[in-house]
Amino acid sequence: MYRQVPANLATIIFVISKSKKTIAFIVYNLILTLRGIYLPHCKDKYINRSSINLVITSTKENKNLVNVDELKRLQLLQGLDQDSLEQLLKKSSLLEATPGKTIIAYGEINKYFYLLLTGRLCVYLDEEGISQTIIEAGENVGEMSIIDNHPTSARVVAETHCRLLVISESTMWQLVKESHAVCLNLLNSLSSRLRASDNRLYESEKKRLKSDYLASVDAMTSLYNRRWLDNNILPYLKSAVDTKQPVSILMIDLDHFKNYNDNHGHLAGDRVITVIAQTIMSNLRPMDRVVRYGGEEFLALLPNTTEDEAHKIGNKLCRIIRATAILDANGDPLSGITISIGAATMNSSAKESNTSLIKRADKALYRSKNSGRDQVSLAE
């Protein structure tokens, strides 16, 4: 579902080419291709081109604040020779940020690359404070907005007191073009973040799907609920019209359920609802759908089902429920119960609304109730 860059891609590139210049060229171009698969681009209305008021100290004037040994511990600069590190130090600046200070604002045009010397940064996906990830000392930030030249899609804030080496856009690109080590390190950094981002997206999607499922299912019976029916009945009716096939519904209600609750208690009543729900579901076809419509009332949605077939299915359910033994949680027998059913069918040419179809089935259900219960009535 999501495109990923393998974590060992840099190693593969190194194996297939012995020329350092060729490696740097390949990785440089691979880095450029990442622009469309890392983070979503911001829309123009979110762009904030105002600069961030942070005090940046030139390392030329404060040589004791950052040294070459400290740079050697940074992931991006692993493998860079002493002379290159010293030249980089001269071209860079030191930024010190207090906790809560914004390093990179959301939706701005960023022109700097940051290497975290000490401290910890927190990355937020938007201005509402949804945390995405933590940047630890030795890691880097700001590279994606420089690579794709788009407004930043996240906000970076100092979680603790931080010291950062600030590299200009031109200096960063010079490093990438001249050093295959920096290319490989940057690609590894990006691929690791892509993998982490994909994992977060995957977990987020799992939570969303689970949430959608729980919101569409009745907790007691595990049947679909009214929310699911409201969202899905129209496609069933449209499919019936498109395929010129009938669709039927059964409105099912437990007979004398209030008396049952009064005589046996609500726990026994809940047990009956659960047993009847599972019995109905297990005796319908895989393509049929059963909904807990409300309280002790159920709705069965039957695709490709004629009125005569719906009538036969309803009678079958009445017969099975009548003979179903109901036990309480301790395994002791409870009194049996019956059901009344109203059946309504929409022919493929009718183009009936879902409200009308349910209303007709409901009227048929009341006829079954008024005619003695434990039976099926067809809608007019």
Which positions are annotated as active-site residues? Answer: 296
Query: What's the Cα-to-Cα distance from 195 to each of 37, 78, 149, 252, 254, rounded to whole Å?
Result: 11, 21, 22, 50, 53
CA–CA gap between residue 168 and residue 348 (Å, rounded): 67
DSSP three-state, residue 264:
helix
- DSSP string across 172-233: HHHHHHH-HHHHHHHHHHHHHHHHHHHHHHHHHHHHHHHHHHHHHB-TTT-SB-HHHHHHHH
Query: What's the chain's length in residues?
Result: 380
b vs e for 46-72, b when ≥16 Cβ sit within 10 Å of the residue's Cβ? eeeeeeeebeeeebeeeeeebeeebbe
**Which is nearest to 346 in space by CA: 355, 333, 338?**
355
Give how far Cα 303 sits from Cα of 223, 245, 306, Å: 17, 8, 9
Which residue carries 């409870």 as its tokens?
334
Radius of gyration of the chain from its Cα atoms, rounded to whole angstroms? 33
Tokens of 38: 């890392």
